[in-house]
Amino acid sequence: MCAWIRQSSSVPVARRAGRRFSAPRQLLVAGLLALPLWLIAASSASAAGAAATIQIENFTFTPAELSVEPGTTVTWVNHDDIPHLVAATDKGFRSPPLDTDDHFSFTFTKPGKFDYFCALHPRMTGTVVVTKPK
Amino acid sequence: MNWAGTGILWGLAGGLPLGIGLDKALAAEATAPQPFTFLQISDSHVGFDKPANPNALATLQEAIDRIKALPVKPAFMIHTGDISHLSKASEFDDADKLIAETGLRVFYVPGEHDLLDEGQGKAYLDRYGKGSKGTGWYSFDQEGVHFVGLVNVAGLAAGGLGKLGPDQLAWLKNDLGAVSASTPVVVFAHIPLWSIYPEWGWGTDDGAEALSNLKRFGSVTILNGHIHQVMQKVEGNVTFHTARSTAFPQPAPGKAPAPGPMKVPAGDLRKYLGVATVDFVRGSQPLAIVDRPLAG
């Protein structure tokens, strides 16, 4: 069992919340200079200690596959009028039932491919890929 | 699917479902021998308060009031799951208090919304599962009819549909093995046991195996909930039927991006909610199902 931090709350989170980058600003600027803009927009990898959000809407996890670096806290937000429940296929994490606007966060520490699904509507599936530290 | 204002009595004529208006059916019943009747309610989702129905407790109350007003008291009631919305004790308490007003004995099976407590179903079993096996399955006999309550919402697997699991299937095979083929059988479970719309999870992965044990019986009726609308199918001697919810309607398969609560025009909601009564008439008659919407 890997070490992990679980937070969940029923406080609504702002929709489509932007990612918080705790990486030094210079690093980000350097990246902007070195990479085409579309590549940055398409990249879903985030720096260690960063945060990423998965939206739950119309019985779908978006993005269906999210790639993050170790140490990233991933937050699922339910926008549906019906509860969902985020559960790791390997039982590594399990949210409480998330009613409308509830959210659940989990910090991924180890590299690997983590499949999850909705325990209420198991046809809903998604994956978090945790990349190797750079 | 049928939204007839006053309800439909389903009978079988030459293997084909035949629907006649409720008024006509009730008039016909007056001259027929007194049937044995039981009621089905489903998907009360007590605690739901979203725009599709801001007060699910009030519409359950309306359903209960209609049941209390029936001229002939049914033998008992079955509830095919999703009693609560989030498995909170207060939701179960509110539902129990209302349902108790009917004075009827109630046989429950859980829906997936009833297994959301920290014990993943312990709250349901403590409250409704007395005398049941496993996650809450059981059978009983009444008036020569064999009733089987199944659980297909526990321990659902990623990517899958409803699931009964090997333990329950083994129990079912054994349970039905002791029943003669001439005994009418009524099976009830939350998620439909036949595949209605797998894209929305409306089916049971190992439902076919359960149904294979029912092939030798002359009369089989399968009652489900979960999809919040009436659907019926007849296959050989098996009649499948899903009941309306008392809380909120859901869209017809594939008619919306997702199967969530469906908001209908103000004033129309009660046409989509309701209760079902099932009459079992002795003789060569099959079970006949009457669906009564709250409105009409």
List, for residues A6-24, the tens digit of each pLDDT value.
444 444 444 433 333 334 4
Phi, psi of A48 (to 5 degrees): -55, 140
Inter-chain residue contact A119 with B156, CB threshold 8 Å: yes
How large is the average pLDDT for residues B183-187? 92
pLDDT value of position B266: 81
Say which of A60, A81, A122 has its CB closest to residue B157.
Answer: A122
pLDDT tier, B12 (very low <50, low <70, confident <90, very high otherwise): very low
Distance CA B153, CA A120 (A): 8
Query: How distant is the alpha carbon of residue B136 from its chain centre?
Result: 15
Distance CA B266, CA B101 (A): 28
Total-model pTM: 0.82
In this structure, is the dihedral angle defined by the CA atoms of residues B92, B37, B233 and B138, taken in order, positive or negative? positive
pLDDT value of position B281: 63
Which chain B residues have a beta carbon less than 8 Å from that of A119? 112, 156
- B133 Cβ contact list (under 8 Å, min separation 6): B168, B171
Look at residue B33 and tell me whether its pLDDT is greater than 70.
Answer: no
Q: Please give the single-letter amino acid code of residue B176.
A: L
Chain A: give the shortest CA distance to residue B135, in Å: 16
Distance CA B139, CA B124 (A): 18
- A49 Cβ contact list (under 8 Å, min separation 6): A22, A23, A71, A72
pLDDT value of position A58: 97
Look at residue B284 and tell me whether its pLDDT is greater than 80.
Answer: no
Contact B146, B185 (CB under 8 A): yes
Which chain A residues have a beta carbon less than 8 Å from that of B112? 119-121
pLDDT value of position B23: 45
Inter-chain residue contact B260 with A115, CB threshold 8 Å: no
pLDDT value of position B103: 96
Contact of A123 with chain B, judged by CB distance below 8 Å, is answered with: yes
Which chain B residues have a beta carbon less than 8 Å from that of A101? none
pLDDT value of position A47: 56
pLDDT tier, B41 (very low <50, low <70, confident <90, very high otherwise): very high
Inter-chain residue contact A123 with B51, CB threshold 8 Å: no
Inter-chain residue contact A117 with B159, CB threshold 8 Å: yes
First to last CA, chain B: 17
pLDDT value of position B17: 36
> Which of B120, B124, B156 to mutate to test binding with chain A, by most A CBs within 10 Å of its CB?
B156
Contact B136, B115 (CB under 8 A): no
Distance CA A100, CA B20 (A): 41
DSSP string of B219-262, one letter each residue: -EEEEE-SSSS-EEEEETTEEEEEPPPSS---PPTTSSSSSS--
Give the residue from chain A lying closest to B51, CA to CA.
A81
Neighbours of A110 (CB within 10 A): 13
pLDDT tier, B31 (very low <50, low <70, confident <90, very high otherwise): very low
Q: Please give the single-letter amino acid code of residue A124.
A: M
Q: Which two tokens stand for residue A53?
A: 């959000």
Strands annotated E in chain B: 8-13, 16-21, 36-41, 77-79, 106-108, 138-142, 145-149, 185-188, 220-224, 231-235, 238-242, 274-280, 287-293
Query: A residues 31-90 near B, CB within 8 Å?
Result: 58-60, 80-83, 85, 89
Choose between B106 and B294: higher pLDDT.
Answer: B106
Chain B: give the shortest CA distance to residue A31, in Å: 38
pLDDT value of position B14: 31
| 3-class SS of residue B1 | coil
% of chain B with per-residue pLDDT over 70: 85
Choose between A5 and B156: higher pLDDT.
Answer: B156
pLDDT value of position B292: 75
B228-279 per-position pLDDT tens digit:
999 988 888 888 999 999 999 999 999 999 999 999 998 899 999 998 888 7
Phi, psi of B150 (to 5 degrees): -115, 155
Look at residue B212 and tell me whether its pLDDT is greater than 90.
Answer: yes
Choose between B1 and B86: higher pLDDT.
Answer: B86
Helix residue ranges per DSSP H, chain A: 25-34, 37-42
DSSP string of B157-198, one letter each residue: PTT--B---HHHHHHHHHHHHTS-TTS-EEEE-SS-SS-SBG
Inter-chain residue contact B260 with A82, CB threshold 8 Å: yes
- A62 Cβ contact list (under 8 Å, min separation 6): A54, A55, A56
Inter-chain residue contact A122 with B116, CB threshold 8 Å: no
Contact of A115 with chain B, judged by CB distance below 8 Å, is answered with: yes
Inter-chain residue contact A115 with B257, CB threshold 8 Å: no
Look at residue B32 and tell me whether its pLDDT is greater than 60.
Answer: no
Contact B45, B273 (CB under 8 A): no
Q: Chain B residues contacting A, CB < 8 Å?
A: 50-52, 85-87, 112-113, 116, 156-161, 198-201, 257-261
Phi-psi region of B43 (alpha: psi -120 to 50; beta: other; left: phi over 0): left
A69-124 per-position pLDDT tens digit:
999 999 999 999 999 999 999 999 999 999 999 999 999 999 999 999 999 999 99
Phi, psi of B63 (to 5 degrees): -65, -45
pLDDT value of position A13: 42
% of chain B with per-residue pLDDT over 90: 69
Helices B56-68 and B89-100, axial angle in degrees (round to 10)? 20
B52-74 per-position pLDDT tens digit:
999 999 999 999 998 898 888 88
A25-56 per-position pLDDT tens digit:
444 444 444 444 444 433 444 455 799 999 99
Give the residue from chain A lying closest to B112, CA to CA.
A120
Inter-chain residue contact A125 with B161, CB threshold 8 Å: no
pLDDT value of position A41: 39
Choose between B33 and B188: higher pLDDT.
Answer: B188
Return the minimum-mean-pLDDT range out of A58-62, B8-12, B171-175, B203-207. Answer: B8-12
